[in-house]
Amino acid sequence: MATDERIQVYEHKMTKTLDSLTKELVTIRAGRANPHILDKLTVDYYGTPTPLQQVANITVPEARMIQIQPWEASLIKEISKAILSSDLNLNPNSDGKIIRLVLPELTEERRKELVKDVKKKGEAAKVAVRNVRRDANDAFKKLAKQDVSEDEIKELEDQIQKITDKFVKEIEKAVEEKSKEILTV
């Protein structure tokens, strides 16, 4: 196994961690309407739980409004039910053809809670990245039994540390950007 292949496995795991955090942060509601807050919602479509995006057109006509236009009018009740049972704390308004979600202005207290939540998710992602580094270092130490020199092992550990630092910085940047977005009134 070549040196870069040994590193790539762990770098890929760290990339997945960052991607997962990024997807999670997109679903957190800041002051403006973002259709991605609905990404986790599924509706019962002929007995099958189906993502909302696959049964409706979702648009943002105004800064604090999301509009959902189902492709079948019969889905209005299902979509409304999914929104009400979610943790979004939104009240859907329907005219029989279109559902409108008006996002209330976030209170200062709620913004601070959201920022705290974002930071917690960021810390969890950093822990996950560091766990990948630990796993990598453990694997590299085992290479000593396979006639790999200490210098090569040290080089692998240095590389994985640099990659870890890079991902931790990216996580911190993502958390900082999301926090700024939430706190912007």
Characterise 65 by phi-psi region: left (phi > 0), alpha (psi -120 to 50), beta (else): beta
pTM: 0.71
pLDDT of residue 165: 95
Contacts of 90 (CB under 8 A, 6+ apart): 83, 101, 102, 103
Flag the least confident range among 20-29, 31-40, 117-126: 31-40
Measured CA to CA, the distance from residue 17 to residue 19 in angstroms comes to: 5
Task: Give the integer Cα–Cα distance in Å for 152 and 130.
Answer: 21
The residues facing 12 across adjacent strands are none
Give the range among 65-74, 116-125, 138-147 with minimum mean pLDDT. Answer: 138-147
Note the pLDDT of residue 84: 87
Q: Which residue has the tokens 């200062």?
A: 108
Query: pLDDT, tens digit, for every residue of 52-92?
Result: 888 889 888 887 888 989 988 888 888 888 888 887 778 88
